[in-house]
Chains A and B, each alone.
Chain A
Amino acid sequence: MAPAKKRNVSSVKTAEKSAKKAKVDLSKTVERILESRKHANDVFDILESLQAEQEKEVISAVAACRELFCALLERKELFLGKLPGEEDALSGGYSAEDKYRIFMRHRYTSCVEILLEHLSHEQYDIKESAMCCLMKFAAGEGRHPLEDLDWSEHYSFPRELILALVDNLLSKATDNSLLISRFQEFLEMEDVRYYVMSSIRDNVGKVMEKNKGAVVPVYQNNVFTLMSSISMPNQESELTNFMVKQEGFLNAIRSSATQEHKRVFERMWLGFLKYKLPNSMYKKVLVILHDSILPYMSKPTLMIDFLTAAYEIGGAISLLALNGLFVLIHQHNLDYPDFYKKLYNLLEPSVFHVKYRARFFHLANVFLSSSHLPVYLVAAFAKRLARLALTAPPTALLLVLPFIYNLIRRHPSCRVLIHKPSAEDEPFEDPYLMDEEDPAQCRALESSLWEIKSLQKHYHPDVAKAALLINTPLSEQEDDISETLEVTTYELMEKDLKQPEIKSVPLEFETATRLLKGGGDVLGQHFCLT
């Protein structure tokens, strides 16, 4: 083992050495090439090492490329305008100078190609350096356009490079979220963001067309990551950070800079949401929709279709769609028929168990805060929530009980739910119809909230105390449910665990003799020790 190890170590060492040497060599080569055109052919060495196996070598080669081609761009030693073929260049009547430029331009394009390939490399470091290098090139090209400029105020941006970059970034096979988060820093720049957005739209359209609208989870995930990492500017004055500082762009979009931005943003999202999404993606989109998409759209009403479709799906997705719908109803005059009926039907046992419970109840609280709602509707909500409370965990109960009380407080005619003195004497069956979908037909007003009466026997002291409130007329003041929205079980537990001083702990007085004894012997009857 030992010698092998040694050999290994030595080989690693040599590799390191060679890498170092290569780096030195490469930088020397770059210097040489930049020094005189005699060494122009050395550029092949660099391109060769760019495709090498070893990570370090590649990275140093990328650095070398960046140095080299940036310098060349600076010196305008790359051919401008439409690039003739390599053979044509040799045969055509170009001067030696031009030939050199054409040659270098060809090397540049092949270098860019290799770098784009590297964007789907396994090694993150390579990906990252390749991306940075490409962005550097883009910046360089922006400053010294490779296209022929016919008129001076024309604005040129390396669109194709960005498009190619985005294409590769939005891989269909690998999850590029890390790289995308690195890319986010370039998105700070207004022009980059602008062109990236339009490229995304193009790309999405292309890819989804190809897949005929079928779900491509990895790809869509990448797209979503990239899109959600775009943070839109809030005001016009903020449009100052540009990668390419040219008068042209500013002039081109200044008149309606933000409007233009918003339009592109909107088109990008609509283009993305047009296609079928996996369920998890729906949730993700809906979570950020009201906060980071709707405000930046020029016409938020365009989202109505998407949101109504999501609302129809049911379950957690519907819950999430509520938020976006609320924004539309509230700020954009959306008229949604049967909104409350759907909301009523969203109330299922799982409502108390899902992750978005707090958000849902917050919104439901907002929706039901109007005092102009019909009594039957509010009563139906209260009754249904009470019925569902029979299966809810204590944290949800601590939320839903004050919720129901608030409903009754807002609509004093709902008080019959907890106080029906006329029918006191004769007992009757609960007339409420749980399976009825229409709140108008469910006969909730004829019922009473016996469920809360049952919850007075709940095992958790806080819940039992909260349920006891229906024994007396409710106070005028509404309970603030915002504090109880996000209580977790552990927090509830801590209330008991972290009691500062316990006067004296009551103990069990029945002497414990066996493990499985006591407490009615339930465990002992069904299970044994061995």
Chain B
Amino acid sequence: MGKAPKKRSLADKVRKTKTSSEIKNNPFEVKINRKKFDVLGRKSKHDVGLPGVSRSKAVNKRKETLLKEYKQKNRCSKFIDRRFGEYDTKMAPEDKILQRFTMERQRVHEKKDVYNLNEEEELTHYGQSLAEMEKFNDVVNSDDESEEKGLLSAELTASHFGGGGGLLRKKALGEEEEGGQRAKSRQELIEELIQKSKQEKRERQVQREEAQELTEKLDQDWKNIQSLMVKKTPKADKQEEKPKLEEYDMMVRELGFEMKAQPSEKMKTPEELAKEEREKLQKLEADRLRRMMGEEVVEGAQSQIHFSADDLNDGFILDKHDKKTLAYQEGSGEDDGHSDLESEQESENEEEEEASPKPKKTLSKEEVKAQQEAAKAELPYTFAAPESYNDLKDMLHGHTSDNQRLIVARTQKSNHPSLAVGNKLKLQKLFGFLLEYIGELATRSPPELSTIDKLIPEVYALCQMFPDAACKAMQSILGDAAHSMEETLEVKGHAAFPTLDMLIYLKVTALLFPTSDFRHPVTTPALLFISQALTKCPVRSLQDLTSGLVLCSLGVEYVSFSKRFLPELINFLVGTLHLAVQDKASLGMTLLYVPPFRASGKYSDLLVLSSSESCRSWSKKSLPLSATHYKTEMFIIVFFHRLTCLSTCLDLVKRCCLLYKDLPSFTHIFKPIRTLLSKHLSTQILPEPLQELSSEIVEAISSTPVTQSALVFDKRKPIPLKLLTPKIVEVLDYGKKRGSTREEREKERLKHKYKREFKGALREIRKDSRFLAREKLNEVMNRDAERKRKVKELMGSLATQEGEWKSLKRKKK
């Protein structure tokens, strides 16, 4: 027993000298755990063990911990950490540190500041004053510092390193020197010593300062003399050079502080730009289609506002108008250096405008220039955002429409949200006011529609900035209008056609928001409003009819992209055509018309054309929007108005034909129109273009196939048969119980873990006690061996003594 541990310790020693690889390669050290099955791809940690190594590790660890504890078992002295909060687990470490620091400071303050020369304390870094360090002026003194460092007086060394002995010695010396004086205590001695060293230090400092002053003086003198001594030229140069250098320094520093130029993207070729633009448009289009299908919007997938790559995000939107202003400032033509700044879209718009057949008021460049010059002369560049609607009205009052647009644009720019905090709210309000203003412009007589036209880009820009606010504003307008209409309907059963401002609002809605979405918070109610107006408002005059046709056109515009079915639109168009039939009796009781139109009545002949001669002189001209409200009594105008209405109606019918071509019930939807056009209207005198139009429509309707395949349900995925093959479950870890709830499994897991831990702890405790027992035994055996040895020694010495004594005795004998 006694030998085993010794041996092991020897083995440990040997092992320690060996490297780990050596150990691993040693077949005697390695124990291979035999595996029952060889599972492919499984990595096991425990296939090879090093029992010797691990045992020695465990023994060592025990020696360091357990053995020490055991040895110190009955000792009383302990090291206790008395630092503040050392054993307080509740305290955060930062708090601890802070508390300790304050306590230390308090302690220092409570004591007399015997060691501190200065009244106030200094901030130090590695014992050096920070204030000193910042001056950097004692570089010169580095050498004498080193001197000081090198200085090792005998006394100092003695006092520093001599320890108590030195002091004692000194004390003895003092006793000798001063004789009768009372012996100084150790405390006093130390104080004395410190004072002495401080005095020395002070003296040294004074000396150093004096020396520095002297050197500076010398420098000064030298400068004075130098000017006399040396020739002027180089010096002048030098003197000039110095400020130059400063300037340069300044420049360098400035550049350093300036924002570093970011690596910009390389200039794009036109092809790349076009490609990018196309991709962006494609993405937006795909987005629109997705919304049209009513799929859920993926959060963040869409960017609401398109920023061009060069956008500075300052709300400065460069469009056609601005560009012209720029061109004027530069004093050059359209194609100046800024043309690359404008986005592709705008140029597209321009092209569109150029391509559009509609005659427009185009001002020549000179005129524009002149106008803008005038505008510049009178308009300030910044405007405060209007606080109320009246403010806006005052602001815009008396300006031309172009100027009004400029004012709004400038207001918007000078109050961009990035400039001040409250601007966002102000601009949101401005949007509401603008809408109100548009409504007012439309209700004026005559309506100032061209001004509205000018303001549209601004409204659009504002809407792009604040979609939510714009949505709210538009919704409230629509909601109010619909509510008032609903109320009149409840009281009277019918309502008047919406006024011009409402028509304009509907159009603006279509401009600001996508009309093709499956469901949209603004456009869906707007469509409902159109439908409501088309169903509930009876046509009582040509003006009403015009309003209705405007609504119809709006309806067609709303659904033109999505091709959604708008029954009210067809109803109204049928009703309108019905108004043009001269011989109502021939219609008979067919299901041709739907409310608000009636089979007969005071207003059912509104569009009947009476004279045939004037038909020839008629040519298609756009109706003014204001025709929805202003009456004319002149016969020929009324007559032309009728014809124009009819042609508009026919054109809308044609568009609808194209839109709804793919609907399964196309023929049934358009059957009334077909009968009206082919049987009743064809007999009447109509101008050439209208007749052509109507025959086109009839052809379009009759050319679509009338046959349909019968309805069937969508094919569903076939339900798989019940399979009887065993269910194969992938088992990821064996030995775990499955099929219970998560909590149960967790509980099982914890139980299992506890068990294992418990076993492990038990094993460890056993090993510990074994180790301790071994140590105790060792101790006992050592002690016994010692005693034996000593006894032996004694016995030996006694034996020799005895022997000697005996031999002496023998000798004596």
Known A496-B525, A518-B511, A520-B556; contact A427-B707, beta-carbon cutoff 8 A: yes
Does B711 contact A419, Cβ atoms closer than 8 Å? Answer: yes
Q: How far is the CB of A422 from chain B (nearest CB, A)?
A: 8
Nearest CB in chain B to that of A353: its residue = B595
**How long is the Cα–Cα vector from A110 to B768 in the complex, in angstroms?**
133
Tell me whether A505 and B665 are in contact (CB under 8 A): no
Cross-chain pairs A/B with CB under 8 angstroms, 12 sampled: A349-B591, A353-B594, A393-B535, A448-B710, A472-B716, A507-B467, A508-B511, A513-B460, A514-B353, A515-B452, A521-B356, A525-B358
A529 at interface (Cβ–Cβ under 8 A)? yes
B711 touches which of A448, A494, A528 (Cβ 8 Å)? A448
Q: Are A387 and B507 also in contact (CB < 8 A) when A459-B558, A518-B557 are?
A: no
A 419-435 to B, binary, CB cutoff 8 A, 1 in contact else 0? 11101111111100010
Residues of B12-61 whose CB lies within 8 A of A: none
Interface string of B479-509 (1 = CB under 8 A from A): 1001101100000010000000000100110
Stretch at the interface among A86-94, A200-208, A322-330, A484-492: A484-492
Check A506 for interface membership: any CB of B closer than 8 A.
yes
Kindly state whether residue A151 has any CB partner on chain B within 8 Å: no
Could you say which of B319, B452, B482, B485 has the most chain A C-beta atoms within 10 Å of its C-beta? B482
Residues 427-447 (chain A) with a chain B CB within 8 angstroms: 427-430, 434
Docked-complex contact A493 and B591, CB < 8 angstroms: no
Contact residues on A (Cβ < 8 Å of other chain), bracket: 35 or more
Other-chain residue from A421, A492, A519 in contact with B528 (beta carbon distance below 8 A) = A492
Task: Count how many pairs of residues, one from A and one from B, have CB atoms less than 8 Å apart in the complex.
Answer: 289
Q: Residue A211 at the B interface, CB < 8 A? A: no
The verdict on B403 contacting chain A, using a C-beta distance below 8 Å, is no
Given contacts A390-B665, A457-B565, A503-B297, contact A490 B486 (CB under 8 A): yes
In the complex, the answer to whether B521 meets A527 with C-beta atoms within 8 Å is no
B524 touches A461 (CB 8 A): yes
- Assess A460 versus B707: contact at CB under 8 Å? Given A451-B668, A506-B514, A529-B449: no
B486 touches A423 (CB 8 A): no
Q: Is the CB of B663 within 8 A of A457?
A: yes
Contact across chains for A523 and B567 when beta carbons are under 8 A apart: no
Question: Which residues of B675-730 are within 8 A (CB) of A?
Answer: 705-714, 716
Q: How far is the CA of A337 from the CA of B396 in the complex (A)?
A: 73
Residues of B within 8 A of A464 (CB): 294, 518, 564
Which of B284, B294, B626 sits near A509, CB closer than 8 Å?
B284
Q: Which residues from B are CB-within-8-Å of A523?
A: 507, 550, 553-554, 557
Interface residue? B741 (CB, 8 A): no
| CA–CA, A149 and B570, complex, Å | 77
Contact mask A232-258 → B, CB, 8 Å, 1/0?
A: 000000000000000000000000000
Of the candidates A419, A465, A516, which one forms a contact with B712 in the assembled complex, judged by CB atoms under 8 Å apart? A419
Tell me whether B349 and A459 are in contact (CB under 8 A): no
User: How far does the Cβ of B789 sit from chain A's closest Cβ, in whole Å?
Assistant: 93
Which residues of B are found within 8 Å of A512, using beta-carbon distances?
A: 456-457, 459-460, 511-512
Does B510 sit within 8 A of A, measured CB to CB?
yes
Contact B478 A497 (CB under 8 A): yes
A496 and B524 within 8 A (CB): yes
**Candidates B288, B625, B664; contact of A529 at CB < 8 Å:** B625
Do A425 and B457 touch (CB < 8 A)? no
Inter-subunit contact B306/A509 (CB<8 Å):
yes
Which A residues touch B63, using CB under 8 A?
none
Which residues of B lie under 8 Å from residue A528 when comparing CB positions? 358, 622-625
CB of A454 closer than 8 Å to a CB of B: yes
CB <8 Å contact, B716 and A459? no
Closest to A425 in B: B709
What's the nearest-Cβ distance from chain B to residue A131, in Å?
A: 30
Q: Which interface residue of A448, A464, A490 has the most chain B CB atoms within 10 A? A: A490
> With A and B bound together, what is the CA distance between A129 and B705 in angstroms?
75
State the CA gap A480–B482 with chains docked (Å): 27
Contact pattern, B 541-570, Cβ under 8 Å of A = 1, otherwise 0: 000000001100110111111111111101
Let me know if A455 and B565 touch, CB within 8 A.
yes
Distance of A333 Cα from B457 Cα, bound (Å):
71
B315 to chain A, nearest CB (A): 15
CA distance A524 to B705 in the complex (A): 32
Docked pose: A245 CA to B453 CA in angstroms: 80
Contacts of A427 in B (CB 8 A): 705, 707-709
Bound complex: CA A504 to CA B514 (Å):
13
With a CB–CB cut-off of 8 A, which chain B residues contact A454? 565, 663-666, 669
Q: Is A391 an interface residue (CB 8 A)?
A: yes
The answer to whether B304 touches A506 (Cβ under 8 A) is yes
Contact (Cβ within 8 A) B651 A526: yes
Closest 10 CB pairs of A and B: A519-B557, A420-B710, A459-B564, A427-B707, A512-B511, A450-B664, A528-B622, A520-B560, A529-B449, A353-B595
Residues of B within 8 A of A460 (CB): 524, 527-528
| Contact between A493 and B479, CB atoms less than 8 A apart | yes
Q: Do residues B463 and A515 form an inter-chain contact, with CB atoms below 8 A?
A: no
Give the nearest-CB partner of B360 in chain A: A514
Contacts of B449 in A (CB 8 A): 515, 529-530
Known contacts A497-B478, A522-B652; A527/B622 CB under 8 A: yes
A348 within 8 A of B: yes
Q: Are A522 and B713 in contact (CB under 8 A)?
A: no
Closest chain B residue, CB of each to CB of A463? B565
